[in-house]
Structure 1
Amino acid sequence: MAIDAANTTTASQRRTGYRFNLTGWISLIVILAWALIAILAPYVTPHGISDIVDTDYFGPMSLQFPLGTDYLGRDMLSRILFGARYTVGISLAATLIACSIGVTLGMAAAVTGGWFDTALSRFIDALSSIPSKLFALVAVAGVGSSIPVLMLILGIIYTPGSYRFARALAVNVNTADFVTVARLRGEKLSYLIRAEILPNIIGPVLADVGLRFVFIVLLLSGLSFLGLGVQPPEADWGSLVRENIGGLPFGSPAVMAPSFAIASLTIAVNMLIDNLPQKIRDRSA
């Protein structure tokens, strides 16, 4: 019976091409839960995010306020649920900007080669030589801290890393025989990128997208903690830590809860990425 169960599991894995262990499933559930909360935040918050619902600031956890209250007596559960909308939304948008631009340019440079590859790579190297936090601080201080600006700045900061990663993968695929045959057939650059290069690097690229997302979440939270991220009356998780830092000596959940929210999301994404290489090996086999 044990042998039959093992054979059934193996057959299922061969059919799907994916192998999730318990850690992978838990991580996926956490990520999907935060994504769902970010979408449905206005409908699931028990109180208004700006409503003062308690006369006691830095109130303790209770049945009425499961995560306590903040420095003004506002419900922390409501503010964290709504803060997910900004943390997840801005980070996801910036990740898509960085990875779509970086991966596209990386594949184009690898396939085209020559002066285009050299010039673009040197420009990317110059851009990546600027420390990310310094670039973000200067750009936000100079341009402003609106949500579209944050998305664009964070996307620009992590485009070079995505470019270098995609180019390194595409250079190897570009030397394959099937790419040479497609080039001899007279296929255009767009076809080579879309049909020949991208399908063969999509697994590692998806893993890199997850890493970029984690980096952007942490950088966004750091900017908000310094007061240069999401501005009041909106608040992301980094802003919630900053505005409630005065409750740290009291062990207030108002400062610990958003920190745990950041940790839960980033750790879940990292642990899910750790499961991706096994999935890729199974699929390629």
Structure 2
Amino acid sequence: MTTVMTRGRRPRPVGPGARRRRPPLFAGAGALLIILLALLGPPAAPHSPTAQLGAPFQQPGGEFLLGTDILGRDVASRVLSGGRTIVLIATAGTAVAGVAGVFAGVLAAMVSRRFGDVVGRFADVLAVLPALLLVLVLAAGFPGSDVAVVVAVALATMPFSIRVLRAAAETILAGGYVEVSVARGDSRWAVLRHDVLPNIAGPALLDTAVRFVASLHLTATAGFLGLGRGGAAPNWGRMVNENIPGASLAMAPFLAPALLLVLLSVCVGLLAGRLADAVGRGAA
């Protein structure tokens, strides 16, 4: 077993035992297909997702592939149109939390111990607030606003990203090769660019995958509670809540969106777990 030292990356083992397994094909394909369905589904809807086209809770078949919902709307059209909002809100919330986590976490590790403690206390304050309470307060303050849900999701997941990435950056800065860079006269910007950021890319990617699952759950919960864009706009979370009363009459109206949400969470979670294994082996 040999060790390779390169600027911008930690020492890593090289040899037959260092090969990384590929992410599970099924999980990756499943997550990609559901995300594509959510993003590209609205134009493919056979009917208007908000129009009442038949009797409530018609069984699947004929004109309505998945039947109709509690108001007689086409379930297939609502399923195809109801995922885009959830995926986009979860993605936006994850992106905001991830960028803020990298920025605050790296600054907390690099500036000074006192500044890092201040950032840590701020993250602790946000972390003790119940995530659902944040969503409820912001969504109630800005009714019908998807932006409010994005902000709430970002605030709820941000403190954990700050903690993870601060710890990762501190580990990098404690490495001997960073001390060599500083002794050589490299500026903080050079250390950040060549040593810190490349080496926290793995933990940041893993954290993003985990936070996306959490953001997806919060976004679906917000839809279930009727928060964000309201009215007749389709939303997988809201569809579950709307059609539960008729579960004994028709399963598809609430089961189809619920299964898509569960499958997307499971597939992304499996990818995050495999990524965690890869990052752990790379750090060994």
Q: Shared fold by TM > 0.5?
A: yes
**Residue of structure 1 in register with 2:25 after alignment:** 25
Correspondence 1:1-285 to 2 at 5 A = 18-20=20-22, 24-53=24-53, 55-280=54-279
| CA displacement at 1:164 relative to structure 2 | 0.4
Q: CA deviation at 1:279?
A: 3.1
SS in 2 for 1:60: coil
- Point out where structure 2 has 5 or more consecutive residues left out of the alignment: 1-14
Report how far residue 195 of structure 1 moved: 2.3
Whether the 8 Å contact between 1:19 and 1:282 is mirrored in structure 2 is no
Q: Any idea what the Cα deviations from partners look like across 1:255-277, whole Å, max 9, x if unmatched?
A: 11111111011011111112213
Give me the whole-angstrom Cα distance separating, in 1, the residues matched to 2:67 and 2:196.
Answer: 51
Cα deviation for residue 178 of structure 1 reads: 2.1
> Does structure 1 conserve the Cα–Cα contact (< 8 Å) formed by 2:138 and 2:148?
no
1:189 and 1:151 map into 2 onto residues whose CA distance is 33
2:55 maps to amino acid: D
Q: Cα deviations across residues 214-252 of structure 1 (Å, max 9, x unaligned)?
A: 111111111221122331232321111122222123243
Read off the aligned partner of 2:257 and give its amino acid letter: P
Please report how far the alpha carbon of residue 284 of structure 1 lies from its aligned counterpart in structure 2 after TM superposition: 6.0
Q: CA deviation at 1:63?
A: 4.8
Structure 1 residue runs of 4 or more that deviate by more than 6 Å after TM superposition:
none
The answer (yes or no) to whether the contact 2:64–2:75 under 8 Å persists in 1 is: yes
Structure-2 separation of matches of 1:145 and 1:155: 18
Whether the 8 Å CA contact 2:144–2:229 is kept in 1: the answer is yes
Q: CA deviation at 1:283?
A: 5.3
Q: Where does the alignment leave 5 or more consecutive residues of structure 1 unmatched?
A: 1-12
In the other structure, the counterpart of 2:6 is none
State how far apart, in whole Å, the 2-side matches of 1:105 and 1:189 are. Answer: 16
**Identical-pair percentage:** 32
CA–CA distance in 2 between the matches of 1:136 and 1:187? 44
Which structure dedicates a bigger proportion of its chain to helix? 1
TM-score between both structures, scaled by the size of structure 1 = 0.86
Deviation of the 1:281 alpha carbon: 5.2
- Report the Cα distance in structure 1 between the residues aligned to 2:133 and 2:283, rounded to whole angstroms: 41
Give the secondary-structure state (helix, strand or coil) at the position aligned to 2:149.
helix
Indicate conservation of the 8 Å contact 1:108/1:189, yes or no.
no
Distance in 2 of aligned mates of 1:242 and 1:229: 14
TM-score between both structures, scaled by the size of structure 2: 0.86
Which whole-Å deviations, capped at 9, do the CAs of 1:112-143 have from their partners, x for residues lacking one?
Answer: 22221111111111121111111221222123
**Number of paired residues?**
269
Cα distance change, pair 254–243 in 1 and its aligned pair in 2 (3 A): same
Code of the residue aligned with 2:218 in structure 1: it is L
Please provide the CA RMSD for this pair: 2.3
Q: CA deviation at 1:169?
A: 1.2
Question: In the aligned structure 2, how far is the partner of 1:157 from the partner of 1:186?
Answer: 40
